[in-house]
Amino acid sequence: MAVGGSLTPQADEEVVDLDGYLLLPTAVEPHAHLDKAFLAEHVENPTGDLLGAIEAMSNHRHLFDREDTIERAERAAQLMAANGYSAIRTHADTTTEQGLLSIEALTEVRRRMAEVIDIEIVALCGSPIVGPDGADQRALLKEALSSGADLVGGCPHLEDQGDLAAATEIYLEAATDHGVGVDLHTDETLDSDVLGLVDLAHQVLSGFEYRVTASHCVSLGMQSHRRQQEIAELVAEAAIGVVALPHTNLFLQGRGQYPMPRGLTAVAALQSAGVTVAAGADNLQDPFNPVGRGCPFETAGLMVIAAHLLPTDAWSSVSAAPRQVLGLPPGAIEVGAVSNMFAVRADSVREAIAFGPADRIVWRKGTRLQETQS
């Protein structure tokens, strides 16, 4: 495949007429949970909040084996590739209950999907990971990093009170030992007193050498404007990428609170400070989010509505920004660029976000992958 203004196709070359289409570099999903995808019909979350979703998964975990996880995760990855994603960073439950089941399942999906979409795996540790009670969890993390996981992940804010900073230190030490980056579920709460993002930034600035991502960061949205600015500047200094997750946070957060808060990180303050803020869909039709289409235009649309981004900036949050957060090359349709791109029937990015047309044509490294018709 070539790019140019006056190309002459050869006799054996396919010509695709893109009249009426918008041609875009592919999107990147910076935060998924492929191992949980499509569980909404089987695992209900009656309370609708975060702890309810965690409890629901724990109560039903015995129902899902390696093959079932592979089937659902592969289905989700196929859907996302067809919708215009070229890469996914997925978290994989790595708990003492779950063991390496999700890691093994997702490494197999990564192998099967290698010609369709890139998959990066984060070992999502359970709690506790601190102290004697966390010894088995720490050992499991090391095993996961030797069994196909690419990054260290976990939820420091779910540790016992007072152990948040210690948990963060353990994650960074494990990442350093294995020479990999971290992507932590950070402050996934509306409790304004929980600010693990500050601990994370300080520890990174103390000498952590690898790429760092803080996902969620919901409690930052509950701070005063001045405090948001202060923390955002610290995050920028530490070069931490932030991933906003409107689907799941808007569903799980704020229930029973009056007035009901927005349940989203402080996108404007972070961007003003120079922090790269990507947007992800997080969960796909499971107890943490019962809906979702695996579509970058859906996520971009939520960033328009919930984060007050203009459409072009919202599209950047699911394309250029996640590439930067994940350390991927910039996406471009130009001579010399990798031809990961897709065409969607629309006249503008705003229109594509508004309608999310089903009519799309996707290319991966110059090879046409899939065409869907509305």
pLDDT > 80? residue 182: yes
Confidence bin at 336 (pLDDT 50/70/90): confident
40-53 in b/e form (b: 16+ CB < 10 A) is: beebebeeebbebb
Whether the Cβ atoms of residue 263 and residue 190 lie closer than 8 Å to each other: yes
Confidence of residue 277 (pLDDT cuts 50, 70, 90): very high
DSSP-assigned letters across all residues of 194-245: --HHHHHHHHHHTT--S-EEEEE-GGGGGS-HHHHHHHHHHHHHTT-EEEE-
Domain ranges within the chain, ordered by starting residue: 22-372
Give CA–CA dist 144/37, Å, rounded. 21
172-196: average pLDDT: 97
Distance (Å, rounded) from C-alpha 299 to C-alpha 279?
A: 7
Amino acid identity of 205? Answer: L
Does this model's pTM top 0.85? My answer is: yes
d(CA 178, CA 120): 16
Nearest to 321 by CA among 247, 242, 258, 260: 242
Crossing angle, helix 196-205 and helix 164-178, to 10 degrees? 40
Average pLDDT over residues 341-363: 97
What average pLDDT does this structure show over 41-61?
Answer: 93
How confident is the prediction for the chain on average, in pLDDT? 95
The pLDDT score that the predictor gives to residue 372 is 44
22-372 is classed in which CATH architecture? Alpha-Beta Barrel (3.20)
**Backbone dihedral region for residue 325 (phi beyond 0: left; psi -120 to 50: alpha; all else: beta):** alpha
Q: Which range among 104-113, 257-266, 318-327 shows the weakest confidence by mean pLDDT?
A: 257-266
Over 90: is that where the pLDDT of 6 sits? Answer: no
**Inter-CA distances, 52 with 55, 64, 287, Å:** 5, 19, 8
Chain length of the chain: 374
Alpha carbon distance 289, 305 (integer Å) = 18
pLDDT over 60 at 371, yes or no: no
Give me the amino acid identity at 237. Answer: E
pLDDT in tens, 232-248: 999 999 999 999 999 99
Among 20, 10, 50, smallest CA distance to 282 is for 50
* Contact between residue 120 and residue 133 where contact means Cβ atoms under 8 Å apart: no
- Round to the nearest angstrom and report the end-to-end CA distance of the chain: 26
pLDDT tens per residue across span 24-33: 999 999 999 9
> 38 falls in which pLDDT band (50, 70, 90)?
very high
Given this model, what pLDDT does residue 5 score?
62
Residue 332 exposure: Cα atoms within 13 Å on the Cβ side:
8
pLDDT (0 to 100) of residue 373: 39
- 3-class secondary-structure state, position 119: strand
Q: Is the pLDDT of residue 153 over 70?
A: yes
- Exposed, middle or buried: residue 143 (CB in 10 Å: 0-12, 13-18, 19+)? middle
Angle, helix 66-82 to helix 101-112, in steps of 10 degrees: 40
Question: What pLDDT, on the 0 to 100 scale, is given for residue 74?
Answer: 98
Lookup: tokens for 149: 């996981």
Burial class (CB in 10 A: 0-12, 13-18, 19+), 335: exposed
Query: For the purposes of burial, counting CB atoms within 10 Å of the CB of 22, is it exposed (0-12), middle (13-18) or buried (19 or more)?
Result: middle
pLDDT digits (tens, 9 = 90+) for 83-102: 999 999 999 999 999 999 99
Q: Determine the average pLDDT of the residues in 52-81.
A: 95
Average pLDDT over residues 122-134: 97
Residues 6+ apart with CB under 8 A from 41: none
The CA distance from 75 to 69, in Å, is: 10
Alpha-carbon distance of 268 to 25, in angstroms, equals 25
pLDDT at 1: 58
